[in-house]
A and B are shown apart, each in its own frame.
Chain A
Amino acid sequence: MEPRIGVFVCHCGINIASTVDVKRVVEAIKGYPGVVHAEDYVYMCSDPGQELIRSRIKEKKLNGVVVAACSPTLHEATFRNTVSQVGLNPYRCEIANIREHCSWIHTDRDKATEKAIKIVKSIVEKVKLNDELLPISIPITKRALVIGGGIAGIQAALDIANAGYEVILVEKNPSIGGHMAQLSETFPTLDCAQCILTPKMVEVGQHPNIKLYNYAEVEDLSGYVGNFKVKIRLKASYVDWSKCVGCGVCMEKCPTKVPSEFEMGLTTRKAIYVPFPQAVPNKPVIDRENCLYFKTGKCRICEKVCTFGAIKFDEQDEFVEEEVGAIIVATGYELYPIEKIGEYGGGKYKDVINGLQFERLLSASGPTGGGVQRPSDRKVPKRVAFVSCVGSRDPELHKPYCSKVCCMYLTKHAMLYKHRVPDGEPIVFYIDIRSDGKGYEEFVQRAQEEEHVTYIRGKVSKIYEDNGELVLLAVDTLTGEPLEVRVDMVVLGMAIVPSPAVYELAKKLKIQIDANGFLTEAHPKLRPVETLTPGIFLAGCAHAPKDIPDTVAQASAAASKVLEMFSQKELQHDPMVATVDEDRCSGCGVCVTLCPYGAREIEVKDGKRVAKVNEAKCEGCGSCIAGCPAGACQQRNLKDEQLVNMVKAVLE
């Protein structure tokens, strides 16, 4: 194609024109090979400016356009759209950045003008060899995978399923529900967590569009956006759930007791168990580690008492494969282990507990039926200390970040404790109170003023046991006074940390995690629920500590991103991908090792090894191209020849 390039130089008011002599740039470029038209205008991005470009394309039969203006980051899309309105391929339009990279950073008008001319020439060289491209279309499998069945995963799965698409929900535990199912009441409204969560769990369990794999884990992922293949491990439960009716006789008769995870170790469960009565699905699993039969080869009582023949001791882990187009990771959090806090006893004091344990003590369905009793002797504690920022906001020893919810739930705890034990005395130790949600500050005010919760500003330096009581050492930082407070029980607001399995999972999914192990979003403000891997989204505490309203909002946001994707017929992918000249390719495979996306493969074609590019997977970084020893690879519209010509143009 004989180049007929038009160059349009923008003044950007005085932003460019005050340092760069725009008229001189136009004159200098007029005679440049390939350029058939050049002109300037005060605001090229304005409507009249764009109209000017459109009419010149028609009048002068331009087949390429260079707009010399601001950074391509700002208006590349604008001008490509402009030219395509009159039938020019958008990829035949490029931006010469003479504002950010020239007029704004230089002062010498003469030299800045010379530099602007060089920049424009180099972009003209690029446009000359730009091909007419079309975005690559990729088909989409309109089925989503949600990993994690806590409130984030539940919300995301329901949103997508209610929009009419299939969802595969994978939960590692026997039941969905996550930590929210353990909570008693929720701040700031004090509505019962189970009352608002369990209907949603049931809805998930019964939803015709949701396929629930509980007690399962993601084993492997391949493919790419719109076309993932996921391998799921279904852990052996040793119970045939299709036969089990959930009568519970097996659990009654099982002789082995182990600390209950759901009850945070405050009571026991059996080796064959359903984690909690409202579990979805309500089918038991056998915990292989603790089952007497698996340990000693004797017992099998559950098998004997099961009238449905549902116990299957010879069951093995199974694998299933599912095809999905998008993935939401909602793997949640754990509490930072108390063992790491030596100055608070590191777990050796029975009556120093964490927030989730206290939730269970408050819960009507908990081990005490909602009556507050301390674990060591089941006495009702008359003074309880609530300590915030345990492990959080401590960059030297523990975690540098704020865990976001502790101020609020400790306030809630103090209040609920007061409701259960009216003559009890709750004391909250805090560094500062973070109550930034809707109705949160009012909630804290209410605790202080109406419910008479004592707040002490100061970090607790030590906790020790003395004569059946716990002693807290602290300094009241408002009065400067050292304090020694004696209480019956202590509740620690432990730091929130990402679920430990997320590290392995992130590797399988090829998504990034930050220094604290939380998943990294693509952009903290503009792309908060996407990961950098197209088609993979995130929600909930796997991303950062957050409360239930934020988690639900984020889960719905992630779901809407998935739905946005599913509402398209096909996905559009940037066409500036790698290409291979098969005659030159020696099939050495260097490109395969260089590609971070698995987009390169060696294929045997007519007995000859040649490299291939999977255009849907190729992100267009170009590292394989620079690495090809045969010079057989090129990048569309950023070919070697283009780059070399650009180099020459700027050095002329």
Chain B
Amino acid sequence: MEGFEPKIVAFCCKWCSYAAADLAGTSRLKIKPNFVVIRTMCSSRVDPEFILQAFLNGADGVLVAGCHPGDCHYVNGNYKTLRRVMLLKKVLEQLGIDPRRLRLEWIAASESRKFVVTIRKFVDELKQLGPLRLEAGDDNGSNG
């Protein structure tokens, strides 16, 4: 996998994780540009469909980030997110997509460092898994 740079779509809720990514910028922390953030109001807006579309269109990984449990701006949206992501991970497996390619993280508005570290670790893990090849089945991890 020499030179492989994974592509990540990061869904961030407006109130916490998007703000954490903003803070990473304001604090001039440095990350590799492997990801692009898409803002939703709450992590619970993220339809499993969007995640599947991301994989279908060439994403190697998808990050869903929301407020910590109990801190969701909309009372309990992130618990719904948690259930949906868990379920989707099972489905991904059946579709031959390594569930590690989908990550759920709670990142508070103040946790700019956690945002950076999350992306960094995700990039490293995806580098090990290699590019997602849908037709061939996603077993890059083992022979990668």
A contact residues around B80 at 8 Å (CB): 594, 623, 626-627
Which residues of chain A in 27-47 are interfacial with respect to chain B, using CB atoms and an 8 Å cutoff? none
B contact residues around A647 at 8 Å (CB): 9, 38, 50, 53-54, 57, 59
B contact residues around A118 at 8 Å (CB): 36
A contact residues around B39 at 8 Å (CB): 72
How many Å lie between the Cα of A625 and that of B39 in the bound state? Answer: 16
Residue A3 CB within 8 A of the other chain: no
B contact residues around A594 at 8 Å (CB): 80
Q: Interface segment, A104-112, A155-163, A171-179, A323-331?
A: A104-112
**Contact residue among B31, B41, B48 (Cβ-Cβ distance under 8 Å from A622):** B41
How many Å lie between the Cα of A646 and that of B12 in the bound state? Answer: 13
**Contact residue among B24, B40, B53, B54 (Cβ-Cβ distance under 8 Å from A638):** B40
What is the interface residue range for chain A against chain B? Answer: 35 or more
Q: Interface segment, A94-102, A212-220, A259-267?
A: A94-102
Instruction: Decide if A651 touches B46 in the complex (CB within 8 Å).
Output: no
The secondary structure that dominates the B interface is: mixed
A contact residues around B31 at 8 Å (CB): 105-106
Known contacts A105-B31, A640-B47, A621 near B73 by CB under 8 Å: yes
Residue A565 CB within 8 A of the other chain: no
Instruction: Decide if B41 touches A620 in the complex (CB within 8 Å).
Output: yes
Instruction: Decide if B50 touches A644 in the complex (CB within 8 Å).
Output: yes
Residue A582 CB within 8 A of the other chain: no
Known contacts A101-B22, A596-B76, A622-B40, A640 near B32 by CB under 8 Å: no
Known contacts A100-B25, A104-B28, A105-B25, A115 near B45 by CB under 8 Å: no
Which residues of chain B in 63-93 are interfacial with respect to chain A, using CB atoms and an 8 Å cutoff? 73-77, 80, 84
Instruction: Decide if B73 touches A105 in the complex (CB within 8 Å).
Output: no
Tell me, rounded to whole Å, the shortest Cβ–Cβ distance linking A598 to chain B.
11
B contact residues around A626 at 8 Å (CB): 44-48, 80, 84
How many Å lie between the Cα of A510 and that of B59 in the bound state? Answer: 40
Residue A558 CB within 8 A of the other chain: no
A620 to B, closest residue via Cβ: B41
Residue A63 CB within 8 A of the other chain: no
A contact residues around B48 at 8 Å (CB): 626
How many Å lie between the Cα of A118 and that of B33 in the bound state? Answer: 11
Instruction: Decide if A106 touches B49 in the complex (CB within 8 Å).
Output: no
Instruction: Decide if A623 touches B42 in the complex (CB within 8 Å).
Output: yes
Tell me, rounded to whole Å, the shortest Cβ–Cβ distance linking B23 to chain A.
8
A71 to B, closest residue via Cβ: B22
Residue B58 CB within 8 A of the other chain: yes
Instruction: Decide if B45 touches A638 in the complex (CB within 8 Å).
Output: yes
A contact residues around B21 at 8 Å (CB): 100-101
Tell me, rounded to whole Å, the shortest Cβ–Cβ distance linking A533 to chain B.
10
Known contacts A100-B25, A623-B42, A107 near B30 by CB under 8 Å: yes
How many Å lie between the Cα of A115 and that of B29 in the bound state? Answer: 17
Question: Interface code A120-135, partner B: CB below 8 Å = 1, 0 otherwise?
Answer: 0010000000000000
Residue B19 CB within 8 A of the other chain: yes
Known contacts A106-B32, A644-B49, A623 near B22 by CB under 8 Å: no
How many Å lie between the Cα of A317 and that of B48 in the bound state? Answer: 51
How many Å lie between the Cα of A576 and that of B45 in the bound state? Answer: 12
Instruction: Decide if A619 touches B33 in the complex (CB within 8 Å).
Output: no
Instruction: Decide if A619 touches B25 in the complex (CB within 8 Å).
Output: no
Chain B residues engaging chain A, CB cutoff 8 angstroms? 7, 9, 19, 21-26, 28-33, 36-42, 44-50, 53-54, 57-59, 73-77, 80, 84, 116
Can you list 25 contacts pairing A with B, beta carbon distance less than 8 Å? A71-B25, A100-B26, A101-B25, A102-B25, A105-B25, A105-B29, A107-B30, A119-B36, A122-B36, A122-B38, A532-B73, A596-B76, A597-B75, A621-B41, A621-B74, A621-B77, A622-B42, A622-B45, A623-B77, A626-B45, A635-B41, A643-B40, A647-B38, A647-B50, A647-B57
